Amino acid sequence: MTFNIKTLGCKVNTYESEYIYSLFIEKGFSYVEENADVYVVNSCTVTNMADRKSRQVINSLRRDNPGSVIVVCGCFSQNCYNTGKLDTINADIVIGNKDKSKIVDYVLEYLDNKERIERFFNLRGASFEDMEIKGAYDRTRAYVKIEDGCNAFCSYCVIPFTRGSVRSKNHESVIEEVISLVNNGYKEIVLTGIHTGKYNDGEYDFAALVRDLVKIKGLKRLRVSSIEINELTDEVLDVFKNSDVFVPHLHIPLQSGSDQVLKLMNRKYDKAYFEERINYIRSIKKDLSITTDVIVGFPGETDEMHKESMEFIKKIGFTKVHVFPYSDREGTVASKIKEKIDGNVKKERVKELLSISEELEKEFYNKYIGRDMEVLFEEEKEGFYTGHTANFIKVKTKEEHKSNELAMVKLTEENIEMAN
């Protein structure tokens, strides 16, 4: 039988989908791009747009593949379960964020009796569902999921309700998985989780984990998909400072450059703390790139607060800003705040911030023109060879390079490609 996986949302979903892929392959299924016997949709619900996209993918698969088994898992289906809307998902098998490791078993069960399967659990206090990517797939960068769940309860976010409590993978299992991936040829490992910096295996914390991982023989680059500013402890930054393996690129969500909005968001820091830590981090690591996420149009955000946020973003000097218009999520504290921002105002604020992001990005890249930088090449497409520097500058060149090759490249205006 054949299968296909549609992955929406975050890097955790990317990792989980690769794991699900390996389960199907182990059971003798074959992967195809279209006309599959089984489709798995690993869904996302972080915004209303993510909900719409998840639903569109599910409905189009059902419409175009009436004889296929449709499986839906992930945050969208978990949120539908939480809000009593499971019957709106047109699929044969619907599970949430637990038992993804049993998807193939559920498919075989469905093929036996043709009865819709629904499996959901209370994820507050759930244990970590262990997954391990064993095989070497056609990539140069491997994701390793070390943590799941979130206890932060930012006022705008539904993810703590769809992913459950913070829970972590056994550290020995993490180390074994990374060693296995490196032995399979991967040069770069990306640690990922819902709240990655909260990793904790008893007395063994995130700092201890990265301290051990950077020592692994053959590992050239260690990257963290995203980490909060208050989780970059002195112990973590000590490893960051002293290891060439821990790359000079951090994605640190800001969400707002207004203290009033940060408080409404229930973020756990203010601007002064954020700036002080960023300045310190920059002082200990050369060639550092810092990217971020920002939400605009949060309920109660005035024009003055938005301007304050823009000025702070320019002051920090991020490499790139990922901008999201505020999305009202049912059941969150922010959804109850009455001072909603008009949609057109949000669009204009997004446009303004994207313009700032583009300026900051160009300013950052210009500093590297003429420099020789080591690039990890990833693919060849239409005669161009592309890869990334350690600080995540995308390089696109006609000079021939093998996939997974590390090579020195002189950066020019022509071969630096603006990030997506």
Q: Which of 253, 246, 206 is nearest to 223 (CA)?
A: 246
> pTM here?
0.93
Same domain, 91 and 156: no
What distance lies between CA 17 and its chain's CA centroid? 13
Domain boundary among 218, 247, 276: 247
Indicate the residue type of 234: D
| Mean local confidence (pLDDT), 3-19 | 95
Same domain, 100 and 138: no
Same domain, 130 and 111: no
Percent of the chain exceeding pLDDT 70 equals: 98
Q: pLDDT tens digits for 364-396?
A: 999 999 999 999 999 999 999 999 999 999 999
Q: Which value, in Å, is the radius of gyration of the alpha carbons in the chain?
A: 22
Whether pLDDT at 138 is above 80: no
Indicate the residue type of 61: L
Per the document, the length of the chain is 420
Same domain, 376 and 411: yes
Domain boundary among 67, 96, 119: 119
Instruction: Provide the CATH number for the domain around residue 209.
Output: 3.30.750.210
Same domain, 99 and 139: no
Dist CA 295 CA 341 (whole Å): 12
Q: Return the bridge partners of 394, or none.
A: 388, 417
Do the domain assignments include residue 330?
A: no
Domain of residue 21, residue span? 2-119
Do the domain assignments include residue 316?
A: no
Whether pLDDT at 418 is above 90: no
Taking the alpha carbons of 231, 236, 237, 240 in that order, is the dihedral positive or negative?
Answer: negative
Indicate the residue type of 388: H
Indicate the residue type of 44: C
CA torsion 367-370-374-377 (nearest 10°) is: 100
Do the domain assignments include residue 233?
A: yes
Same domain, 115 and 29: yes
Q: Is 311 helix (H, G, I), strand (E, B) or coil?
A: helix
Do the domain assignments include residue 34?
A: yes
Same domain, 49 and 134: no
Q: pLDDT tens digits for 343-371?
A: 999 999 999 999 999 999 999 999 999 99
Number of domains in the chain: 3
Same domain, 104 and 195: no
> Strand runs (DSSP E) across 106-215, as ranges?
117-119, 141-145, 147-148, 167-168, 188-192, 200-201, 204-205
Whether pLDDT at 65 is above 70: yes
Residue whose token pair is 């239409």: 382
List C-alpha distances in Å: 399 to 190, 342, 391, 392, 396.
27, 49, 21, 19, 9
Band of pLDDT at residue 140, cut at 50, 70 and 90: confident
| Mean local confidence (pLDDT), 331-346 | 96
Dist CA 81 CA 74 (whole Å): 11
Q: Is 63 helix (H, G, I), strand (E, B) or coil?
A: helix
Mean pLDDT estimate for the chain: 95
Instruction: Provide the CATH number for the domain around residue 109.
Output: 3.40.50.12160
List C-alpha distances in Å: 133 to 185, 346, 407.
13, 40, 27
Do the domain assignments include residue 57?
A: yes
Domain boundary among 119, 137, 152: 119
